[in-house]
């Protein structure tokens, strides 16, 4: 009991700190002296990047290019690497516009996120009409060709984009690709790994920000499954398109942390938040804080530069106005990055939670135990049922070496399944940390 209370108190304290930081960030007119003065430089202080989507047809706009060159160190082609752009006719590849973006970025010392190798949308006409083995082979050939063409130039590929259904199913989205067989995603990842072994391979989706949403859980289970079976996946992209109907969730940090605990990087890949003024600025700051608080959140990309460049320009969702002036949202992001609370090797204060995402039944609460140079102890307290199954997932190179007050087993993928052994509803374990002090992800279900 005491343990649960301590843990809850810590979570509340961190929330308060985040809110206080947001307030301070919005009030400040300019960065403190000594702080970095661009988004990229500010993000680099914690080893992260700050990127933007770029459209090839705007590379002649000097205001646009001026902001791009000054503020960002990662670039995503907004449309130019999609399947319809790169393979307009089957077997005929077209890289002109994508290359303009890649060359501009590389000449400026920026890195590139590739977007996207396989997707149900933006397929060329010839592919839309295909099905079965012919489509599967055409998709794999596309992945192989495009990833090979850009081998060595891409930091991370969105290998598969938006493959999960919206709503309560938590399952796959129906599409011609899905109908080729449920293994189409892992087949795409294997082809991408073979074509460009140096690129991080990401699964990228939207509406996966709220930890309690079925879609988020569906993607989580897929990544967990891929990690356990050795399917090559390195990262998960959270598009993060927010507005009043799809607001920044209060559990955003939990989502990022729980995915990271599976042993993948997480990236915010297409951030935009509709709105204006201090409300928008606070939301931007909160998203930035959530990334900074997760060691494996390696960077943030906004989906365009000026509001007028946005795919939903009327929502004014970006960091610069139509004239290229910095908005309040820009200042709040810059200040959050400069606040420097985040680190790529954080100490022990990560607030991994604890819950039954399916709703109902039970709650598992993690709290810290003793720490040593090479290992630390943790406890989990379960409430809501005496008949629980708790999953504890640690992230590489961590490994669980001992447990007490539970009947548990764990596998090479660092996932432990714990059940009651008659000792009550609090159990403990020891983790060899290998320098990774992140808390494990825990979740609970009724047996």
Task: Give the residue numbers annotated as catalytic, written as ranges.
Answer: 162, 270
Q: How far is the CB of 172 from ligand G2I (least distance, A)?
A: 17
Toward ligand G2I, which CB reaches closer, 172 or 445?
Answer: 172
Q: What is the 3-state secondary structure (H, E, C) of 297-363?
A: EEEEEECCCEHHHCCCHHHCCCCECCCCCECHHHHHHHHHHHHCCCCCCCCCCCCCCEECCCCCCCE
Which CB sits closer to ligand G2I, 73 or 270?
270
Interactions with ligand G2I, residue window 353-392 (CB under 6 A)? none
The answer to whether the beta carbons of residues 431 and 380 sit under 8 Å apart is: no
Tell the smallest beta-carbon distance from residue 223 to ligand G2I (Å).
Answer: 19
Task: Determine if 122 is a binding residue for ligand G2I (CB under 6 A).
Answer: yes
Separation of alpha carbons 258 and 439, rounded Å: 9
Nearer to ligand G2I, 126 or 311 (CB): 311
Which class for 327: exposed (0-12), middle (13-18), buried (19 or more C-beta within 10 A)? Answer: buried
In angstroms, what is the minimal distance from the CB of 220 to ligand G2I? 19
> Helix 2-27 to helix 328-339 angle, to the nearest 10 degrees?
130
Residue with Cβ nearer ligand G2I (26 or 240): 240
Q: How far is the CB of 119 from ligand G2I (least distance, A)?
A: 8
**Nearest residue relative to ligand G2I (C-beta):** 311
Distance between CA 79 and CA 77 in Å, rounded? Answer: 6
Nearer to ligand G2I by C-beta: 290 or 302? 302
Asked if 128 interacts with ligand G2I (CB under 6 A), we say no
Q: Cα 276 vs. chain centroid, distance in angstroms?
A: 24
Which of 79/354 has CB closer to ligand G2I? 79
The CB density around residue 424, as the number of other CB atoms within 10 Å, is 12
Contact criterion met (CB below 8 Å) for 28 and 335: yes
Instruction: By CB under 6 A, name the one of 78, 186, 196, 274 that touches ligand G2I.
Output: 78
Question: Minimum CB separation from ligand G2I for residue 4, in Å?
Answer: 39
Burial (CB count within 10 angstroms: exposed 0-12, middle 13-18, buried 19+), residue 152: exposed
Smallest distance from the beta carbon of 121 to ligand G2I, in angstroms?
Answer: 6
Task: Report the half-sphere exposure of 265 (CA within 13 A, side-chain side).
Answer: 22
Taking residue 123's Cβ as centre, other Cβ atoms within 10 Å add up to: 23
Among 79, 285, 331, 398, indicate the residue that binds ligand G2I (CB under 6 A).
79
Residue nearer to ligand G2I on the CB measure, 206 or 211: 206
Binding mask 198-217 for ligand G2I (x = CB under 6 A): --------x-----------
Q: Which pair of tokens denotes residue 86?
A: 């790169």
Residue 407, number of CB atoms within 10 A of its CB: 13
Three-state DSSP at 384 gives coil
Counting residues that bind ligand G2I (by CB under 6 A) gives 7
Choosing from 311, 343, 369, 432, the residue that interacts with ligand G2I (CB under 6 A) is: 311
Please provide the DSSP assignment of 135-175 as one string: HHHHHHHHHHHHHHHTTTT-SEEEEEES-B-SSS--SBPP-
Sign of CA dihedral 307, 311, 317, 320: negative
| Residue choice 46, 180, 208, 239 for contact with ligand G2I (CB under 6 A) | 239
Q: How far is the CB of 315 from ligand G2I (least distance, A)?
A: 12
- From residue 422, give the alpha-carbon distance in Å to each of 145, 363, 386, 427: 57, 18, 10, 11
The least distance separating ligand G2I from the CB of residue 331, rounded to whole angstroms, comes to 25
Residue 175 contacts ligand G2I per CB under 6 A = no
Give the DSSP per-residue string, 84-100: HHH-SBTTB---HHHHH
Among positions 265-294, residues that touch ligand G2I (CB under 6 A) are 270
Residue 247 vs 358, nearer CB to ligand G2I: 247
Interacting residues toward ligand G2I by CB under 6 A? 78-79, 122, 206, 239, 270, 311
């Amino acid at each position: 009991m005491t343990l649960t209370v301590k843990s809850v108190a810590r979570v509340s304290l961190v929330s308060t700190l985040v809110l206080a930081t947001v307030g301070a960030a919005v009030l400040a007119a300019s960065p403190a002296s000594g702080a970095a003065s661009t988004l990229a430089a500010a993000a680099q202080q914690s080893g992260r990047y700050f990127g933007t989507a770029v459209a090839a047809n705007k590379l002649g706009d000097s205001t646009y290019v001026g902001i791009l060159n000054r503020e960002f160190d990662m670039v995503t082609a907004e449309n130019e690497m999609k399947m319809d752009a790169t393979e307009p006719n089957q077997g005929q590849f077209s890289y002109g516009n994508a290359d303009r973006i890649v060359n501009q970025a590389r000449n400026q010392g920026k890195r590139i996120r590739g977007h996207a190798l396989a997707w149900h949308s933006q397929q060329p006409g010839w592919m839309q009409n295909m099905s079965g083995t012919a489509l599967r082979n055409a998709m794999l050939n596309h992945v192989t060709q495009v990833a090979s063409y850009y081998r060595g130039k891409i930091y991370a590929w969105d290998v598969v984009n938006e493959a999960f259904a919206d709503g309560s199913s938590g399952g796959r989205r129906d599409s011609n690709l899905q109908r080729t067989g449920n293994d189409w995603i892992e087949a795409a990842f294997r082809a991408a790994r073979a074509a460009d072994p140096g690129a991080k391979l990401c699964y990228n989706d939207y509406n996966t920000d709220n930890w309690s949403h079925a879609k988020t859980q569906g993607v989580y289970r897929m990544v967990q499954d891929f990690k356990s079976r050795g399917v090559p996946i390195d990262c998960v992209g959270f598009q993060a398109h927010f507005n009043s109907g799809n607001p920044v969730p209060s559990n955003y940090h939990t989502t990022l942390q729980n995915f990271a605990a599976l042993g993948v990087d997480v990236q915010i890949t297409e951030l935009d938040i509709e709105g204006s003024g201090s409300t928008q600025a606070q939301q931007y700051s909160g998203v930035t804080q959530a990334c900074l608080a997760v060691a494996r959140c390696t960077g943030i990309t906004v989906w365009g530069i000026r509001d007028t460049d946005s795919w939903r320009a009327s929502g004014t969702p970006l960091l610069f106005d139509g004239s290229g002036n910095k908005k309040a949202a820009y200042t709040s992001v810059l200040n959050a990055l400069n606040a420097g609370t985040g680190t790529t090797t954080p100490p022990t204060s990560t607030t991994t939670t604890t819950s039954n995402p399916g709703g109902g039944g039970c709650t598992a609460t993690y709290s810290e135990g003793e720490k040593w140079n090479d290992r630390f102890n943790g406890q989990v307290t379960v409430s809501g049922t005496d008949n629980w199954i708790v999953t504890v997932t640690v992230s590489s190179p961590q490994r669980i070496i001992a447990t007490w007050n539970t009947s548990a087993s764990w596998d090479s993928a660092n996932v432990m399944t714990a059940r009651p052994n008659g000792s009550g509803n609090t159990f403990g374990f020891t983790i060899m940390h290998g320098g990774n002090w992140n808390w494990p992800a825990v979740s609970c279900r009724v047996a």
